[in-house]
Chain A
Amino acid sequence: MSGGLDGPAPEERPTPDGRRNSQGIRIDPEAEAEPEARRVVLSALVKHEPGVLASVSGLFRRRQFNIESLTVGPTTDQDRARITLEIEEPDPGIEQAKKQLQKLVPVIAVTELEPDAIRRELALIKVDGSAPDQVGAVAEMYDGKTVDVSQESVTVEITGSEQKIDAAIETFGRFGIHEIVRTGTAALERGTRRTT
């Protein structure tokens, strides 16, 4: 094929020594370390209008942010809703996620919560009904309560941190779990710190 220009060939050109990692950060070429992923909770105050949740979830899907959980609910202001997201990303990814969220026009404010923020999930766990007393005892161990009992099954409600709920589900496993349902994380800053 034709075409072509004059000049020194690629291997005849001086090559710079430096290098960047895949995040575009300049690094020491000897010690190439990719940043580790962190798990954080982002809280977004948004306009309470149709399509906002779709925009937020669409954004996270399209930009391939690793989303662990997403919850949405009203606030004391009826024109505003709060979306709580948990993501697991390296720092540059977390920064990008926050900025991209903030860029959506119906998003009013975005904060990354402190590591010690109050975080809660809720789970409903339906287990086999053959040992209701033992199920009740285990529920109490996890500050949970029995919310429904039938011939075949007992349903327990547990709230708490994700780890606590994981542990509860594991314990209830020995009764034989029929079904579970879990919410995502709801979170607020502690003390007088404001979430957004």
Chain B
Amino acid sequence: MSERTTKQRETDADESTEADASDASPTTVTSGATSTVRALENAGIEVMFGVQGGAIMPVYDALWGSDIDHVMMAHEQGAAHAADAYNVVSGQPGVCLATSGPGATNLVTGIADANMDSDAVVALTGQVPQTMVGSDAFQETDTTGITAPITKNNYFASDADTVGDTVGEAVALAGSGRPGPTLVDLPKDVTNDETDREPGMPQTPETYTPQDEADEAAVDRAAAAIETAERPLLLFGGGVVKAEASEAARSFATGYEIPVVTTMPGIGTMPEDHDLCLSWAGMHGTGYANMAINHTDLLIAVGTRFDDRLTGGIETFAPEADVVHVDIDPAEISKNIHADYPLIGDAGRVLEQLDDAISTAPNAEAWREQCRTWKVEYPMDYAAPDDEPLKPQFVVEALDEATSDEAIVTSGVGQHQMWASQYWTFREPRKWISSHGLGTMGYGLPAAIGARLAADPDEEVVCIDGDGSFLMTVQELSVAVREDLDITVAILNNEYIGMVRQWQDAFFEGRHMAAGYSWIPEFDKLAEAFGARGWRVDDYDEVADAVEEALAYDGPSVIDFHIDPAENVYPMVPSGGANDKFALSEEQL
């Protein structure tokens, strides 16, 4: 089954797996294209995701002799998402490759997604030769123009001698400071031109100088505020994950006994079953997290950009709180929520600084008790009567139970994404891989592919998908089969683009315009047609067996769970509303 598609993978299969990275021989630089590949090797890139095409062919040709693994995707959007998830799971930059024109524009959604979630993704795009740039040549698009607002920085390579350095800079920049996507546009003459100049080791540009340590006086002021707070609350965002600061964050929380809420990308920075953890806050966050946010008198926010899905209405967000804001990006400070104590620096380092500056823990036992009370008052308990259709929450819990603590979960966008993040108990960072800021349907399956290639073999990779989201990138199943990737896709199939239906019920008097599928493929059979294994599950008593079999199968598997099509996601803060006024049912909206 696992017919490999790239030369490199054939070599791996033939010559067993003896060759490890240290034996890798670097590509000899003879052209702009080989210089490009050499720069990626210098940066330690091991795998990349892409689709071939005219303008990028010289780069592909240069990969022929390289030890970098290439995964041929079905669609460039899939390549970008796979690279993105590869980065989130491994912490290493994810690289994707596409040709000019439609190849580059197909990457755009994935680049925008990475930009919103501050993921280190490097995109390399082919471009028409420089002599033809501006002539509306075949497959010419203004790729650097199109991607300027959605990249941390992008580059138009104009010289074979320096293209390798440019690629190295793009990789280094993507992963440093606040990470983000970068792109290098590679005109075909530049990649074809001869050069023997070897690129140096990857370096960030000299104008880029993120600050590591926060100002001492500012730290002291924040420390004093923490010591005297009565209702302190920590808010951990995705920045804590990026900074590898989860350990520091946890010991800060437990050391001073301060309750914790997370953002959605911050899930796993604190174990969700820890007594101090109130899980994630925001539109579909837990009631107790949202109550805590709106009653705290000191919000200590680390590595978050205060997205509107987290804050609800700005006017009513944490209205009693002074805000300590730790972030490596100065532009996030006071962008949406005014920071009374701005601390610019690396999350882990600033938490250490704060720890050194605090002499006594805040006296907050009454507040902790209040938080515990809210947990009891607003439990995440759903009803699952046997005589009703299968509840999605039950499926999520069954998958969580059947997998190890190391399991990685990816998702599409919609109700299933919310149920997955609400009912899966995450204990570690880099396990919940989702499209947070952009909300890109179709993220889940290609993300599972990228995650699989980044994860250890004993970490299960589960994609909890929606029927609508799955249909947006379903073609990537062919890649999972071809590459023989052990992933399990669990579709929570409500035969609706359910999140839209939920909003129609709540805000459009139940008019289900373009929300329901009058016909939908049989996903178990579709999976089989792709060469994967498929199951269909309609009832509670079939769940456990299907989950067990799918997880046991060593290859891509798809379970089509037909769930209650009427089930909605709660709690819900209507957009722009006050977090503590979350609705627990439709009547409360």
A5 touches B379 (CB 8 A): yes
The CB with the most chain B CB atoms within 10 A, among A4, A55, A104, is that of A4
Binding site for A on B (CB under 8 A): 144-145, 148-149, 152-153, 156, 173, 205, 207-208, 287, 291, 294-295, 306, 314-317, 319-322, 329-331, 333-338, 377-382, 388, 502, 505, 564, 566-571, 580-586, 588
For B586, list chain A residues within 8 Å (CB).
Answer: 1, 3-4
- Could you tell me if B144 and A51 are in contact, using CB atoms closer than 8 angstroms? yes
Question: Which among A3, A20, A99 is the interface contact of B568 at CB below 8 angstroms?
Answer: A3
The minimal Cβ–Cβ distance linking B171 to chain A, given in whole angstroms, is 14
Chain B's nearest CB lies how many Å from the CB of A31? 14
Interchain Cβ contacts within 8 Å, total number: 132
Given contacts A18-B319, A20-B314, A106-B207, 9 further A-B contacts (CB under 8 A): A1-B566, A4-B584, A4-B585, A6-B584, A13-B580, A16-B294, A96-B335, A99-B330, A102-B330
A5 touches B287 (CB 8 A): yes
Chain A residues with CB under 8 Å of B291's CB are 13
**Is B571 a contact of A8 with CB atoms below 8 Å?**
no
| Binary B-proximity of A1-30 (CB < 8 A = 1, otherwise 0) | 111111111100111111111111110000
Which of B152, B329, B388 touches A105 (beta carbons < 8 Å)? B152
Q: Who on chain A is nearest to B295 by CB?
A: A16
Q: Give chain B's interface secondary structure class.
A: loop
Most chain A CB inside 10 Å of its own CB: which residue of B145, B315, B570: B315
Contact, CB under 8 Å: B566 / A19: no
In angstroms, Cα B586 to Cα A5, docked, is 10
Which chain A residues have a beta carbon within 8 Å of chain B's beta carbons? 1-10, 13-26, 47, 50-51, 54-55, 58-59, 62, 92, 95-96, 99-100, 102-108
Asked if B570 contacts A10 (CB within 8 A), the reply is no
CB <8 Å contact, B580 and A26: no
Q: Are B315 and A21 in contact (CB under 8 A)?
A: yes
The verdict on A105 contacting B173 (CB below 8 Å), with A16-B295, A16-B319, A18-B320 known, is yes
Which single member of B317, B331, B379 contacts A96 (CB below 8 Å)?
Answer: B331
Q: Dominant SS at the A interface?
A: loop
User: Considering the chains assembled together, what is the distance between the CA atoms of A8 and B585 in angstroms?
Assistant: 11
Contact yes or no, A23 B338, CB < 8 A:
yes
Q: Are A105 and B568 in contact (CB under 8 A)?
A: no
Contact in complex: A1, B505 (CB < 8 Å): yes
Most buried by A among B153, B319, B580, B586: B319
Are the CB atoms of A5 and B585 closer together than 8 Å?
yes
Contact indicator A14/B295 (Cβ below 8 Å): yes
Chain B's closest residue to A108 (CB) is B207
Q: A110 CB to closest chain B CB, in angstroms?
A: 11
> Which residues of the other chain, A, contact B330 by a CB distance below 8 angstroms?
99, 102-103
Given the complex of chains A and B, what is the CA–CA distance between A92 and B295 in angstroms?
25
Partner of A47 from the list B145, B173, B207, B566 (CB cut-off 8 Å) is B207
Q: Which residues of A contact B569 (CB under 8 A)?
A: 3
Pick the residue among B152, B321, B322, B580 that contacts A15 (CB under 8 A): B580
